Amino acid sequence: MDIISDLEAAILGLLYEKPQYGYQLEKTIEGWGMRNWTQIGFSSIYYVLKKLEKKELVESRLENVKGKPSRKVFTITDLGRKTMKEKLVDILSWNKKLISPFDLGLAYLNYLDPKEVIACLENYLESAQGRIRFLESSVKMQEELKAPYYVVALFSRPLAGLKTEMAWVKEFIEKIKKEENL
């Protein structure tokens, strides 16, 4: 059996907790701040739900709501639960290559003047500072709310990675300055 995509896992994980309809999933995604750690657009929710239903990982039923159109409520199946657990084991067990557009910039930075490269990297550091402030405030807020450790980890892990990356960028700027006698 194929392991599901990360996007499918994001939706399936929300249904693991309770049955939901599409708009309810969107509200949960917003409430959890999921777009900070997964790539899921509003328009892709229904597309993914159809894929999961076709794979028999979820099933749907129409629910009548007084004074409103009926809505399709999705429930995870036993196969969906098994598949989600397999996906989690895979995700948490193996370090996988992350592709960053930043690396594309590094590959071709020789097309820029060294002073331009340094200016770009300094802008990068400045923009990263804003993200760091957001992540630090998110960690603090989650801790104050006594959120479970795995919720706090959604903000503390990228924060640690970003701080490490910023240290690397600062060292790289110094290396450029030294090699280019700037």
Q: Nearest 5°: phi and psi at 120?
A: -60, -45
Q: What is the pTM of this model?
A: 0.79
Third-level CATH fold of 6-93: Arc Repressor Mutant, subunit A (1.10.10)
Q: Is 8 exposed, middle or buried (0-12, 13-18, 19+ CB in 10 A)?
A: buried
The tens-digit pLDDT sequence of the chain (182 residues) is 468 999 999 999 999 989 999 889 999 888 888 887 888 888 889 999 999 999 999 999 998 878 888 889 999 999 999 999 999 999 999 998 888 999 999 999 999 999 999 999 999 999 999 999 999 999 999 999 999 999 899 999 999 999 999 999 999 999 999 999 99
Which sequence spans correspond to the domains of the chain?
6-93, 101-179
Within 13 Å, how many C-alpha atoms sit on residue 181's CB side?
0
Give the C-alpha distances (Å, rounded to integers) separating 152 from 30, 139, 147, 156, 180: 17, 6, 7, 6, 42
